[in-house]
Amino acid sequence: MASSSTSVATSLQQDLWLRRYTLVRALFSIVWVAAAIVIGGKSSAIAAVLLVLYPAWDAAANWVDANASGGLQANRTQRINVWASGLTTLAVCLALTVGMNAVLGVFGVWAIASGLMQLGTALRRWKSQGGQWVMVLSGAQSALAGGFFIAQAQKPDVPSIVNVAGYAGVGALYFLISGIWLSVSLSRRGKQATA
């Protein structure tokens, strides 16, 4: 009996963590998109900082989530995502010296890799945590968007930070939906426990 109640408490803690995590990620992305559109479009220096910050934040967020969910060793897809996002941060710094087409190409490769890792993480969590269907869709959409970025980077038109802002905005929406879904699920679970 004690083992069952411990398991329920652990599941509840994990769901509470995931709700907080997804809502914080949504909030960060919303703020980032607003800054990219309002300020980044007018200042190339601020755009450069924002473009470097985005994958760096993803690396940090995945590292924190993995550690809150059993550690990096237990979460292989997130461990890979931490490395991929960290290397992408460095690659964006280098690509900025070449131009925005190169930056968009780097973001494309990263969107594919991180999308597939997010998809893998969501599939692993599917049975034990709620809201994962949203993260599955998000991971698949990210990988697809990455292909579009790579194709767009090959064109002669010079992209801007707004191209990446659209991608980040869709990601924010997915995280927000997942956070809301988890909130509803936790609320229902609380009502069932008191009934």
The model carries a pTM of 0.86
Would you say the C-alpha torsion 55, 59, 62, 68 has a positive or negative sign?
negative
Report the 10 Å Cβ neighbour count for 94: 11
pLDDT of 4 reads 53
Place of tokens 């007018």: 42
pLDDT of 161 reads 95
Closest CA to 125 of 86, 78, 59: 78
Distances (CA, A) of 130 to 127, 133, 189, 191: 8, 8, 11, 16
Query: What are the domain boundaries of the chain?
Result: 16-194
pLDDT of 55 reads 96
More confident position, 56 or 6: 56
Place of tokens 């803690």: 13
pLDDT of 131 reads 59
Helix, coil or strand: residue 99: coil
Dist CA 118 CA 185 (whole Å):
21
User: pLDDT tens across 49-63, in order?
Assistant: 999 999 999 999 999
Amino acid at position 144, single letter: L
Mean pLDDT in the chain? 88
Half-sphere exposure in the Cβ direction for 11 (13 Å, CA): 16
Place of tokens 């993803």: 58
- Say if residue 186's pLDDT is above 90: no
Q: Is 134 exposed, middle or buried (0-12, 13-18, 19+ CB in 10 A)?
A: buried
- Say if residue 34's pLDDT is above 50: yes
Dist CA 26 CA 68 (whole Å):
18
Place 1 in a pLDDT band, splitting at 50, 70 and 90.
very low
User: pLDDT tens across 61-110, in order?
Assistant: 999 999 988 888 888 888 998 999 999 999 999 999 999 999 999 999 99
Dist CA 182 CA 13 (whole Å):
12
